[in-house]
Amino acid sequence: MAFLKVVPLEEALKVINSFSLKPKIEEIKLEEALGRVLAEDIESPMDVPPFDRSTVDGYAVKSKDTWGAGETNPVKLKVVGEINAGDMPKIELKDGESAYISTGAPLPKGADAVIPFEEVDRENEWVVIYKPVYPDYGVMKAGADVPKGKLLLKKGTKLSFKETALLSAVGFEKVKVFAKPKVAVISTGNEIILPGKDLKYGQIYDINGRAISDAIRELGGEAYFLGIARDDRESLKEKILEGLKYDMIILSGGASGGIRDLTASIIEELGEIKVHGIAIQPGKPTIIGLIEGKPIFGLPGYPTSCLTNFTLLVAPLIKKLLGQSQEYRKVKKKLAHKVFSVKGRRQFLPVRIEDDKAVPILKGSGAVTSFIDADGFIEVPENVEILDEGEEVEVILFGV
Ligand SMILES: Nc1nc2c(c(=O)[nH]1)N[C@H]1C(S)=C(S)[C@@H](COP(=O)(O)OP(=O)(O)OC[C@H]3O[C@@H](n4cnc5c(N)ncnc54)[C@H](O)[C@@H]3O)O[C@H]1N2
Ligand code: MOO
């Protein structure tokens, strides 16, 4: 077994990228599309609005009939009909005519402007106009909002309420999206119990199961938390076999060479270990394997190590399956204070972002608050012992 023969991070990423898992596409109803990722470019199949539309309640007119109108010499136009929203106007305006029109209604033929009712007077079948209007006054032209054929959304876009609204505006009832990768999540360890149960001495509540499951959901995947495997062969094997129903499996804890660290030996029994050990800290004891063609990750048990390695290794694979860029999300900041690192170790340190500063969080990988207080982490390369205050750093961000 490739036990703790550490490889560089880049090699681990290459291994993950070589897995044969491919993005899948499915067509779903628009009403279920929120948060999903588009699998196609979307061009508008129609003009919005589809017709020249009144933007006010008022009078549809031929604008040229109003030219020359003034306070002392108003123009009077005959009101020959009424058009409401949803109507198909049957009227065609002739010179000197107007029609009452409501907001959102199509302009009748012959009209090219709409004057709001508060700007005119009504005298029986006449409307009295005191100022000239120009063509398109009070009108939204067909296609002025969204022209037919325009590229509206690109493949890979995550749909928020704005995009679903736009798709609705142009009449999409269904859309093609990337299928959510289905990820089994397993926590391991005799000491780990689920919230809702009383803690006995020596026990702690599960952090990684919750954090990984919800990080997967934030990315757009589907997480299946299979619970906590105890530190025994049978329990762990049973959960891993159950996990093979899904596209991939993520375990946390039990990854290092300790006496009860069974993960590696079970993966080897059921499949193949591709990586056991990455030359980074945290993350040295990480395992990457394949069982029946399904990737399986054994992430370190320490919560901050676990989530840092999830972000470095697993998140790019989930993003790839969702047709998105695998790049880490990064921002450049200035280091708020000096940090020391161990020479010969490539370290990732959690940092909090405050304005243009990256503030290092130095509680250690074992603390849950190290990642909860952090916005991301910075890399301290192997050959660097000190990063100085004010130095520019790239922060790899947690989350989406
Ligand atoms: N002799 C050495 N011991 C350790 C080393 C080392 O180099 N030499 N490295 C430490 C580092 S760094 C890490 S990371 C951990 C990795 O160990 P495992 O991946 O085998 O994880 P565990 O031993 O199972 O757990 C470590 C720690 O994290 C807690 N944990 C585990 N799962 C969860 C969970 N789901 N929710 C909350 N907390 C969890 C667990 O209780 C332990 O405290 O090894 C170090 N030891
Ligand atoms: O490897 Mo541990 O994951 O360094 O914190």
Here the ipTM equals 0.95
Ligand that comes closest to the CA of residue 259: 1
pLDDT given at position 29:
98
Which residues' Cβ are closer than 6 Å to ligand 1? 187, 189, 191-192, 204, 206-209, 252-256, 258, 261, 282, 285, 300-303, 305, 365-366
Q: Which atom of ligand 2 is nearest to the CA of 284?
A: 1
Note whether residue 31 is domain-resident: yes
For strand 174-178 and strand 25-29, is the pairing parallel, antiparallel, or unpaired? antiparallel
Long-range contacts of 138-141 (CB under 8 A, 24+ apart): 138/54, 138/55, 138/56, 138/58, 138/113, 138/114, 139/52, 139/53, 139/54, 139/55, 139/107, 139/112, 139/113, 139/114, 140/49, 140/52, 140/53, 140/55, 141/52
**Is the CB of 305 within 6 Å of ligand 2?**
yes
Same domain, 365 and 382: yes
Q: pLDDT tens across 260-289, in order? A: 578 889 999 999 999 999 999 999 889 999
- CATH number, domain at 288? 3.40.980.10
Distance CA 316, CA 313 (A): 6
Note whether residue 2 is domain-resident: no
Same domain, 195 and 278: yes
Distance CA 28, CA 178 (A): 10
Same domain, 251 and 372: no
**Is the CB of 274 within 6 Å of ligand 2?**
no
Chain-centroid distance, C-alpha 374: 20
Structural domain total, the chain: 4
Rounded to 5 degrees, φ, ψ at 106 are -70, 145
Ligand 2 centre to CA of 286 (Å) is 8
Note whether residue 4 is domain-resident: no
Q: Helices in 170-314 by DSSP H: which ranges?
A: 208-219, 233-243, 263-270, 303-309
Angle at 92 between CA 60 and CA 149, to 5 degrees: 75
- CATH number, domain at 346? 2.40.340.10
Range of the domain at 271: 9-24+179-321
Same domain, 281 and 334: no
Mean pLDDT per 10-residue segment, the chain (400 residues): 76 96 96 96 97 97 96 96 93 96 97 97 96 97 97 96 98 98 96 96 96 96 96 93 98 72 89 95 93 96 95 97 94 96 90 97 88 95 93 95
Please give the structure tokens belonging to residue 104: 């959102």
**Is the CB of 283 within 6 Å of ligand 2?**
yes
Site to probe by mutation for ligand 1, drawn from 232, 302, 349 as the one with most ligand atoms within 8 Å of Cβ, is 302
Same domain, 298 and 221: yes
Please give the structure tokens belonging to residue 157: 């876009």
Same domain, 135 and 271: no
pLDDT given at position 4:
62
User: Which residues, 6+ apart, have CB-to-CB distance to 259 below 8 Å?
Assistant: none
Site to probe by mutation for ligand 1, drawn from 256, 304, 305, 371 as the one with most ligand atoms within 8 Å of Cβ, is 256
